[in-house]
Structure 1
């Protein structure tokens, strides 16, 4: 049990089921509410969404790498003492003011197609992040389904145990009357008192199990554990118990085509492949074109004829200069950096392919197990329905036989225990069937957070 679950449990047990003293109000939460809250609050989902935003910025950066850059700089200074004036080309000792302005731009013309590979890598990584985000939404939705159904199941079990306690009380009152008139031995009274105490103990344990399942659901939803919550169970007519027919081979094919985690990994593999191309691009020469323009002003510059100072605007116009150039860089030896980068990129690519093989194996096992569990759940629906029908009839018959003295309390107690067990098995089968339907959809990758779990 992790720390947050332990803290929440302590709060539950010390507050009597999350009842707050501040306002005493209870918040009712339906399944749809639970899904909406979990999707809005889940930290891992928010981080996955942030990662998508991060990768979008990286794609924008890689696209912009194809554009030329442009830099503009200016410099203004006040000089005194012996200095060399760059504008008048004189050694001077008097104070002077200078100003210069430069603009430069450069663009890569060829770098071994490394920029193309970088863009493709960023796009593949973005695709992988998007798919990971969608899979994380499915995972959060699935966690809510699992925890919510467990809460409802445990609530149903509490109801069954509460009904059993009431039935045991009624039986105790009848036995008290029987023993009073002498039609039953006093041992039956003592035995029934023990039966009632045992039923109350089991009810207490069921209530604690229900509290624990609520704690886990609150943790999944990341709600405030200091508040009081009531989770609404669906009406029986809202439960869809119609079984579907599945083909295992078709399920396998669908899972490999639709699972967003394997598609995300495929995109990561493609990104790693582009990483190899990026590393190999360092083997090729690079060609860059650059250009620039500049101008300057000096307070010491004089007209050679009139010896008058040349004004600011005229100097900026007269001192204009420009340049255009090409730079070719040919790699000769870089201390095996390119070679090691290529090998590292290949290893990353190989590891991702191994991860895919492992994921394929896991998907196959998950789909196969969910397929088998689903049809087991279907069979349990039928078996538990028959079991419950028979247990009800048996308990009714034994109760009548005991009332007329044709049966013992031991036989009646056993019949009652069988009925309670059959009722528990039935609700377990119902919610297990609903859950297994969602398990199949989750492992197929088709689970949709917008879909309705109940009718």
Structure 2
């Protein structure tokens, strides 16, 4: 009984998954959570966070312990007496040492600042990848919608053709129209059915592409919601392109990344210059030793292990100053390289801002033109519909031949396809333009 319940639960779970239809928001969120490139970028952020923590730890002193144990034969220095002994004896030594950086040209401080900047830069790169994935998913989603609408148009057109075939058969039987007109319509019906097959394949391929982008294994049953998305009217085109471009510099991660890289290059220059300065460090050490042959000069007995550790221990404390005098121009050349890199990344930042401004202006014009194309397609469709209805009325009563009727019908069908194509092209370009203005991608 328990096995039957489990089997039913598995079947129901599969059916629910198979019947699930994805919204754009669900597609985007799933892609952001499961995309491998995004996961790799998240690992880069984790590494940057570790670098930042290590830069903080560099301010602390270090602490190390050491120890050794030896069996000595022949002539060896007794570590306890520091004298040569030609005998077999055992010896051991151990100690603790600690050091702290007091001054190194503020290199530790600048390294910490650089680590913080680098973490910000890696987060910007992660955000950019998420934006790219979101736009790609949105485009794929809209492509499915477009292919679905085109398929509906083709099916509807074929339905009209089949109705015309029925009417024409009656007219042919009544002797109003020649047999050739009926054959022409049947040929059109066959052609349309071929177009439907191609459209169904295009729809499947577009679904398959999005499912693979989402890395879904059950891509054969993948589908999106059946909502009939009407044209989304946004007010983004009411804004000036310059206003959108300025906003994009704050929102789009390409410029943010370029700015972060420029700041990193300046910090690298500061780090290179710290090598000109002397370094000052402090140290402290404690050590002790033991030897098996060590004897008390008064009693002639071996000195116990613990007593030797206390007897022969010692400490050291001091400062160490290093002053760079000549390093074969390594520091000078590193500084020069860093300066060149600063100039290079400053130019890259300026280029990124120019590219973004050009992209925004192009996207603005593309969106305006896409809107005009869609509006023109609607007007054309309306005109072609009236022309087709007029041609059909004349054809049905035998006042027009099949050639003129087919010409009118084909023009009307093409205008319907153009409406679908221009509609979704306009929606996507509108979404891209809104993205540059910082508006999240959605179809609501």
TM-score, length-scaled by structure 1: 0.88
> 1:329 matched to which residue of 2?
322
What is the aligned counterpart of 1:295 among 288, 291, 313?
288
1:354 aligns with 2:347: yes
Matches within 5 A, 1:160-171: 160-171=153-164
For 1:193 and 1:243, locate their aligned partners in 2 and report how far apart those are by CA, in whole Å: 47
Q: Does the Cα contact within 8 Å between 2:153 and 2:416 map onto a contact in 1?
A: yes
1:236 aligns with 2:228: yes
Q: Does the Cα contact within 8 Å between 1:80 and 1:93 map onto a contact in 2?
A: yes
> 2:123 matched to which residue of 1?
130
Structure 2: runs of 5 or more not aligned: 1-13
Q: Compute the displacement of 1:144 (Å).
A: 0.2
For 1:234 and 1:26, locate their aligned partners in 2 and report how far apart those are by CA, in whole Å: 12
Cα deviation digits, residues 159-200 of structure 1 (max 9, x gap) = 211222222222222222221221101221222122222222
For 1:89 and 1:122, locate their aligned partners in 2 and report how far apart those are by CA, in whole Å: 48
1:155 aligns with 2:152: no
How many equivalent residue pairs?
429
Matches within 5 A, 1:10-409: 28-224=21-217, 227-236=219-228, 240-244=232-236, 245-409=238-402
TM-score, length-scaled by structure 2: 0.90
Q: Compute the displacement of 1:243 (Å).
A: 4.6
> 2:443 matched to which residue of 1?
454
Structure 1: runs of 5 or more not aligned: 1-21
For 1:182 and 1:334, locate their aligned partners in 2 and report how far apart those are by CA, in whole Å: 106
Q: Does the Cα contact within 8 Å between 2:105 and 2:278 map onto a contact in 1?
A: yes
For 1:141 and 1:352, locate their aligned partners in 2 and report how far apart those are by CA, in whole Å: 28
Q: Does the Cα contact within 8 Å between 1:138 and 1:447 map onto a contact in 2?
A: no
Secondary structure at 2:222's aligned position in 1?
strand
Q: Does the Cα contact within 8 Å between 2:69 and 2:90 map onto a contact in 1?
A: yes
Q: Compute the displacement of 1:312 (Å).
A: 1.7
For 2:439 and 2:39, locate their aligned partners in 1 and report how far apart those are by CA, in whole Å: 19
For 1:135 and 1:290, locate their aligned partners in 2 and report how far apart those are by CA, in whole Å: 46
Q: Compute the displacement of 1:253 (Å).
A: 1.1
Secondary structure at 1:228's aligned position in 2?
helix
Q: Compute the displacement of 1:287 (Å).
A: 1.2
Secondary structure at 2:287's aligned position in 1?
strand
For 1:420 and 1:128, locate their aligned partners in 2 and report how far apart those are by CA, in whole Å: 51
Secondary structure at 2:221's aligned position in 1?
strand
For 2:235 and 2:173, locate their aligned partners in 1 and report how far apart those are by CA, in whole Å: 53
Secondary structure at 2:95's aligned position in 1?
strand
